[in-house]
Amino acid sequence: MNQNTDLLTLRSVSKSYGTVPVLHDIDLSIRDGEFLTVLGPSGSGKTTVLRLIGGLEPLTSGEIRLDGQDISRMPINRRPFNTVFQDYALFPHLTVSGNVGYGLSVRHIQRKEIARRVAEALDLVQLGRFADRFPAQLSGGQRQRVALARALICQPRLILLDEPLAALDLELRRQMQVFLKSIQREIKTTFLFVTHDQEEAIGMADRICVMEAGHIRQLGTPHDLYYKPNCEFVARFFGENNLVAGKLGPIQGELRSIETALGRLVCSISNQPHLKAATDGASAYAAFRPEALHLADAKDTDNRFPGTISDMAFAGSSTVATITAGADNAAQRLRLRVPSRVDGSALKSGEAVSLSFAPHEGHLVLA
């Protein structure tokens, strides 16, 4: 269970349905024991990645290696992975314990042993009392946990989860996120979790793999993705962001300037060699989070520009201001997030303000 060794490696994996390509040359390494989330909008190919690994679909080209061994052609029922399906796929004619024990009983394991391990697995997912119920008699969250118990009872090397929380309501989904994460820590098994919900991804994943249009756009920790997105798609898709188009300017140490409609902005390029290497005048975006944007005061000398508050929206713990900045012919809509205050926000709709963000809180993405 060393998180630094690779459990599974996808090497230039492609997949087409007929002539329609859905995955282009995917390279991905899954580390032993990690919780890896594949995040992407629908149609990004994220479920296909999971189905290829699980063996539910054949590869078009490339290879999948488990512990260095090519398993691309290994039949699904011999791969040491188990899947939690989006619709749970519980067998309606079997009881909860029948479902959970299925993976053992098809391997002709002794009844006593099956009973013991089923009880153990049901305890783990806190469903011991429901062993004799049928799936139709369970709630959505309970079915979800049966599906999980059924997948982990065979002690797979990797558990594949295909948007398993999509059908649950918000409150239950949050509970299940915490629950899944705690189970994963307890059994120390690698989880590959597919979702389109970035909040879910941030909350659970050790690393996130962002996919779009059959390509992997970025793979990294939630923190990396949030603060150092490597492309426009990730910058826009992952969390709220302000993007202002411009042309790259000169480098000053760990900072680089960019000429935009809001004037010259300066952003951090630390630990991002590709931004250092980009030529002057290349198209790029300055990106800064709504919570990084603030009303400028005297000590803000960089990244300072005027704007008009066009709308204020109260969102509970925070309040979001929509701001129009820049000249009329190149007006930018920006968002600014401030903590809400009980006596109302100091910002007023229609007010002209001076705005700024700290250079180390801004980043650049190439267009």
Partner 1 sequence: MSALPRLSAIFLAAITTLVAVLLYSPLFVPIVSSFFTISHGNVDWSSPTLATYVALAENHDILAALRTTLIVGVCTVVLSVVSGTLLALYYHSRRSGRSLLQFIIFLPFLMPPIISGLALLIFFREIGLERSLLTVVIGHTVFVLAIVYRTVLMRLQSMSRTLVEASYDLGATGWQTFWRIILPNLSSAMVGGAILAFALSFDETMITILVTGTQSTLPVRLWAMMRLGFSPDINALVALILMFTVLLCVLAARFLIPRQVATERT
Residues that bind partner 1 (CB under 8 A): 54-56, 75-78, 81-83, 85-87, 89, 91-93, 102-103, 106-107, 136-137, 150-151, 154
C-beta closer to partner 1: residue 51 or 256: 51
User: Is the CB of 87 or the CB of 169 nearer to partner 1?
Assistant: 87
- Rounded-to-integer distance, Cα 318 and Cα 316, Å: 5
CB of 155 to partner 1, least distance (A): 11
Min dist. Cβ of residue 194 to partner 1 (A): 14
* In the complex, least distance from residue 84 CB atom to partner 1, rounded to whole angstroms: 9
Closer CB to partner 1, residue 103 or residue 359? 103
Helix (H, G, I), strand (E, B) or coil at 51: helix
For residue 77, the minimal CB distance to partner 1 (Å) is: 5
CB atoms within 10 A of CB 360: 14
> In angstroms, what CA-CA distances link 146 with 107, 175, 271?
19, 16, 44
Residue 153 vs 234, nearer CB to partner 1: 153
Using CB atoms within 10 Å of the CB of residue 18, give its burial: 0 to 12 exposed, 13 to 18 middle, 19+ buried: exposed
Q: How far apart are CA 60 and CA 127, in angstroms?
A: 40
Instruction: Please state the closest distance from residue 121 (CB atom) to partner 1, in A.
Output: 13
Residue 323: partners with Cβ closer than 8 Å, 6 or more residues away: 293, 307, 308, 309, 310, 333, 334, 335, 336, 353, 355
The tokens describing 124, both together, are 């783990």
Task: Give the alpha-carbon dihedral of 48, 50, 55, 56, to 10 degrees.
Answer: -50
Residue placing its CB nearer to partner 1 in the complex, 44 or 83: 83
| Minimum distance of partner 1 from residue 95's CB (angstroms) | 13
Nearest C-alpha neighbor of 71 from the set 51, 54, 46, 50: 54
d(CA 55, CA 8): 13
Minimum gap (Å) between residue 131 Cβ and partner 1? 16
Beta strands in 148-274 (DSSP E): 158-162, 190-195, 207-212, 215-220, 242-252, 255-260, 263-268
Chain center to CA of 234: 10
Distance of closest approach, residue 53 Cβ to partner 1, in angstroms: 11
The rounded distance, in Å, linking the Cα atoms of 62 and 205 is 26
